Every structure is written in structure tokens, then in C-alpha cells.
């Protein structure tokens, strides 16, 4: 029995060295979880109903019961919870940055909306000094064109951002649905291969590489929303995503739900129930909040589109009420216009008559003298306070500053929350990796320990061989 004990020890320590080598080989493998060889002391029953001493049956050696993973379920859950917040603030910050690039004054001087207003003020000032010069009238029209084109460009960029983010949202939903399907397939494979006995942490031994794949997918999925993982006795898992069971099953049959995007390319619902998806956190919430945010307290693309439209409508209302019509006609000349009776930042433009006739804004008194009164009134409009949708009162240029400053404040606040979430998630991940990650120092100690044990057991076999030699060749008649 001593030889069997030594043999078992050699085999177990050899396998332990194999596991150490596997851990070291995968130190840079993404999602790899450190493995361990679980062992138990061998016990052999005597097979007798009569009380007897256990001494003859003692010392049967060691046996390997399974290769487990060193993983902490609580830290996994905590990391995924924090990673959902990281996904939300990160996605929101990325989208706000694109909005900022679209509506903030560019670095190239003279190409932004505030520069356009400044050029318009200069043009009107010079025109008021020479209200009869066609050249100055042309410069004023060009300055107004610069204002309208800047608003057109801002609106176009916001529309492009919205379309791109809707496309990105669709890609993200496809990725999530694909991950649901992969989890269902991995569940089936794991349940099929999992062993029935449990390791020292109460989990079933199973195909560790498949478990690593599943955990990696769960980590990636947690960025999109609130994730809850419920371990089942058969080795499979139930996955709740945003409070809805997305992956579930039993035995060898696991199925996955999917997410459907509505006709508006923004709203999200579950395919199985048609129920609208709850969005407590995650990148999906970041997408939807910015794509739908239209209020002062939930600012997204619609909010900034509305602010630009409000600016365009105030411009049209103000400047189309300055120069009376010629020949005693009632009303005022239309200097700016929209389309189909509606003015937006996207369609504001120079009025048709002014576009054809540059002298449309030149006024002549009945006595034949040129009049600069209306030009001065136009100039004064740029310094006049207007109320924009009940939210802000100030000049046109100040309103532009208000919009960009408000966006900057939102980004600063969001960035602070993102930094805090990232810091917390990284802290939890470091704790998790200190448990699940491979450490060269620890593996080196394990390698030396198992190697020493291997050498000692080999020496023990040599000693037993020498004992057998004495028994066989040097006892009895031969040994006399």
C-alpha cells in the first residue's frame, strides 16, 4: 500500500504542476480565471462489521477530486453593477461630446454662429452710415446669409448625430441579442459537461474554459444595463437584464429572449412580451436619454434642436417686423423665411425677394432722401433682449452662449460622475482580480511546493523499493 500511496501522490502533484503551468500560460488571456486542483485524503473502508483498528487502512494517500476556479460571485455581481453605471455615463458623455462639437463655435475664427452675429453687427453699423450704397446692402445680406447658414449647419450636424446614434443603438441591440444567444448556447454546453459533485465553494465542477467564456460575456453585457445572474443547480444560469428574464431554461434546453427597436428607432421592447424595456442604468439608457431628452432637466439632442429652432424663430419674428412694405402697403418686408410656414434652424434662409434684389432693404423717403432709421432698428435688435421659450432672456448672442454653457455644465457634471463610477468599478475589479487573476509570485510558490512534494514522493518510492529488496532478497534462508 505504501507504493500506491506514493504513486497517487506523484500523479496528483504532477496534475497540480500541470494546473500551475496552465495558469501561468494564460496570465494574459482575457477573461481567464485562475484554476486550482482540489484534493482529498483517500479513505478505504475495511469491509467488516466487527470493530477493528483503522491503523492498517491509514495512509492511503491523496486523490484529486476536480479542477475548480478561484472566483468570488459577490465581487462579480458588484463589478457588473458598477460597470452598468460606467456604461451609462460613458455613453452619455460620448454623445454630449458630439453635440458639443456640432453646436459650439469651431476653433477656426469667423466660422461660428457668434462670429456670424458679430459680422452682422459690423455690416449693419456700416450700412447705417451709408444706407444708400448697394455694396453695403450686399454685405448686410451676406452677413445674414452667414447667420442662417450657421444655423442650417448646426441643425444638419445634430440631425447627422441623431442618425448615427440611432445606427449605433441598433448595432448595440444586435450585440446584446447575440450575447443572449451565446449565453443560452454556453448554458447548454456547460450543463451537458458539468460534473455532479461540488467543489469546496459549493459550485459544481465544470468545463472551466466555457465558464470563463460565459463570465466574459456577462461582464461585457453588464455595460449595457442592469444585470442579475442567478446560478442554477445544474450548472446553468438565469440571466435577468433590466429586470427581465432574458436567458433561462433547464436540463439541456436553454432559450434566449431578444430586444426589438421600435419604429422611431429609439424605443426598446422585449420580443417575447412586447413590453417596453425598463432602463435603470447602462449604455442603452445613455442612448435613449440623449436621443429623447427634450426638457431643461433631461437635455438631449431634441432639447438642443429645439433651442436652435427657438433662436431661428425669434430671428425671423424680429427682423421681419422692421422694414415696412413700399408703396403704402401694410405689413413688413420678409427678410428671413422658413418652409411651408414653419421656421426651424434647418430651413431658415434669406427671403425670396431679398435674395433676388439686394436693394430690397434700402428705404427711400418721399422727398427722395435715403433713410437709415430702419437699418438702425435692425442693428439695435442685436442688442435687444428677447425671451426664448420662457427659459432665458437676453440677446441672440447671449442665448448662443447660454446654450453652449449649459451643455458644458452638463458635460462637466456627467464627467465627474463617470470618473467616480470608473474609480469604483476599477477598485472592485482589482479586488476581483486579486482573487481570480493569475499571480506569478503565487504560482511560483505553488510550483516549488508541488515540485518538492513530487521529488519527496519519488524518493519515498525508492526507499520502499529498497525495503522490498531487503524483504525479498535478504530474509528467510538466504538471509541467514
Question: Is the pLDDT at 54 greater than 70, yes or no?
Answer: no
Torsions phi, psi for 191 (to 5 deg): -65, -35
pLDDT given for residue 213 in this prediction? 96
Helices (H), 194-207: none
Q: What is the model's pLDDT at position 480? A: 59
**What are the phi and psi torsion angles at 328 (to 5°)?**
75, 10
* CB neighbourhood size of 458 (10 A): 14
CA–CA separation, 21 and 383 (whole Å): 76
- pLDDT for residue 77 is more than 90: yes
Amino acid 341: pLDDT: 83
Grid coordinates standing for 239?
Answer: 440571466
Region 183-202: mean pLDDT is: 79
Which of 54-68, 179-193, 240-254 is predicted least confidently? 54-68
**Tens digit of pLDDT for each residue in 377-426?**
999 999 999 999 888 999 999 999 999 999 999 999 999 999 999 999 99
Per-residue pLDDT at 111 = 62
Percent pLDDT > 70 in the chain is: 91
The pLDDT, as a whole number, for residue 280 is 96
C-alpha cell at 236: 446553468
Alpha-carbon dihedral angle through residues 233, 234, 235, 238, given to the nearest 10 degrees: -70
For residue 107, pLDDT beyond 70:
no
Of the pLDDT bands very low, low, confident and very high (cuts 50, 70, 90), residue 475 is confident
Span 324-372, pLDDT tens digits: 887 767 889 999 999 988 999 999 999 999 999 998 888 766 555 566 8
d(CA 70, CA 75): 12
pLDDT at 304: 95
End-to-end CA distance of the chain: give it in Å, rounded: 28
Higher pLDDT, 244 or 235: 244
279 pLDDT tier (thresholds 50, 70, 90): very high
Please give the pLDDT value at position 230: 95
Q: Above 60 in pLDDT, residue 110? A: no
Mean pLDDT rounded to a whole number for the chain:
90
> Does residue 43 carry a pLDDT above 80?
no
pLDDT of the residue at 198? 63
Report pLDDT for 131.
Answer: 81
199: confidence class by pLDDT, cuts 50, 70, 90 = low
**pLDDT for position 49:** 55
Mean pLDDT of 245-254: 90
Task: Indicate if the pLDDT at residue 219 is higher than 90.
Answer: yes
Amino acid at each position: 500500500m505504501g507504493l500506491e500511496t506514493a504513486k497517487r501522490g506523484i500523479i496528483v502533484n504532477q496534475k497540480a504542476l500541470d494546473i500551475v503551468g496552465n495558469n501561468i500560460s494564460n496570465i494574459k488571456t482575457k477573461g481567464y480565471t485562475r484554476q486550482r486542483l482540489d484534493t482529498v485524503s483517500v479513505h478505504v473502508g475495511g469491509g467488516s462489521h466487527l470493530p477493528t483498528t483503522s491503523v492498517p487502512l491509514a495512509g492511503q494517500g491523496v486523490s484529486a477530486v476536480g479542477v475548480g476556479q478561484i472566483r468570488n460571485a459577490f465581487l462579480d455581481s458588484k463589478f457588473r453593477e458598477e460597470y452598468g453605471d460606467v456604461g451609462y455615463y460613458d455613453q452619455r458623455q460620448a454623445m454630449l461630446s458630439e453635440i458639443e462639437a456640432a453646436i459650439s463655435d469651431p476653433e477656426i475664427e469667423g466660422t461660428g454662429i457668434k462670429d456670424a452675429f458679430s459680422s452682422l453687427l459690423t455690416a449693419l453699423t456700416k450700412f447705417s452710415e451709408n444706407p444708400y450704397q448697394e455694396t453695403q446692402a450686399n454685405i448686410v445680406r451676406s452677413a445674414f446669409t452667414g447667420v442662417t447658414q450657421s444655423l442650417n449647419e448646426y441643425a444638419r450636424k445634430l440631425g447627422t448625430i441623431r442618425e448615427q446614434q440611432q445606427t449605433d443603438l441598433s448595432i448595440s441591440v444586435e450585440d446584446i441579442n447575440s450575447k443572449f444567444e451565446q449565453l443560452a448556447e454556453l448554458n447548454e454546453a456547460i450543463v451537458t459537461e458539468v460534473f455532479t459533485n461540488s467543489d469546496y465553494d459549493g459550485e459544481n465542477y465544470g468545463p472551466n474554459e466555457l465558464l470563463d467564456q460565459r463570465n466574459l460575456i456577462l461582464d461585457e453585457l453588464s455595460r449595457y444595463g442592469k444585470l442579475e445572474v442567478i446560478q442554477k443547480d445544474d450548472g446553468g444560469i438565469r440571466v435577468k437584464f433590466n429586470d427581465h428574464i432574458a436567458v433561462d431554461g433547464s436540463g439541456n434546453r436553454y432559450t434566449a429572449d431578444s430586444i426589438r427597436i421600435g419604429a422611431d428607432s429609439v424605443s426598446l421592447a422585449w420580443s417575447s412580451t412586447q413590453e417596453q424595456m425598463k432602463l435603470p442604468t447602462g449604455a442603452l439608457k445613455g442612448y435613449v436619454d440623449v436621443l429623447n431628452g427634450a426638457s431643461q432637466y433631461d437635455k438631449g439632442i431634441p432639447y438642443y434642436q429645439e433651442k436652435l429652432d427657438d433662436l431661428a424663430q425669434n430671428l425671423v419674428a424680429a427682423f421681419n417686423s422692421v422694414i415696412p412694405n413700399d408703396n403704402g402697403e401694410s405689413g413688413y418686408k420678409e427678410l428671413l423665411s422658413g418652409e411651408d410656414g414653419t421656421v426651424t434652424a434647418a430651413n431658415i434662409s434669406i427671403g425670396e425677394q431679398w435674395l433676388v434684389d439686394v436693394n430690397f432693404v434700402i428705404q427711400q423717403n418721399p422727398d427722395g432722401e435715403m433713410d437709415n432709421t430702419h437699418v438702425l432698428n435692425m442693428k439695435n435688435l442685436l442688442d435687444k433682449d428677447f425671451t426664448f421659450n420662457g427659459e432665458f432672456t437676453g440677446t441672440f448672442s447671449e442665448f448662443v452662449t447660454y446654450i453652449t454653457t449649459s451643455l458644458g455644465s452638463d458635460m462637466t457634471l456627467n464627467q465627474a460622475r463617470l470618473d467616480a463610477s470608473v474609480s469604483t468599478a476599477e477598485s472592485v475589479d482589482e479586488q476581483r482580480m486579486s482573487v481570480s487573476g493569475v499571480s506569478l509570485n503565487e504560482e511560483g510558490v505553488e510550483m516549488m511546493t508541488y515540485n518538492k512534494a513530487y521529488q519527496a514522493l519519488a524518493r519515498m518510492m525508492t526507499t520502499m523499493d529498497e525495503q522490498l529488496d531487503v524483504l525479498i532478497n535478504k530474509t528467510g534462508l538466504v538471509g541467514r
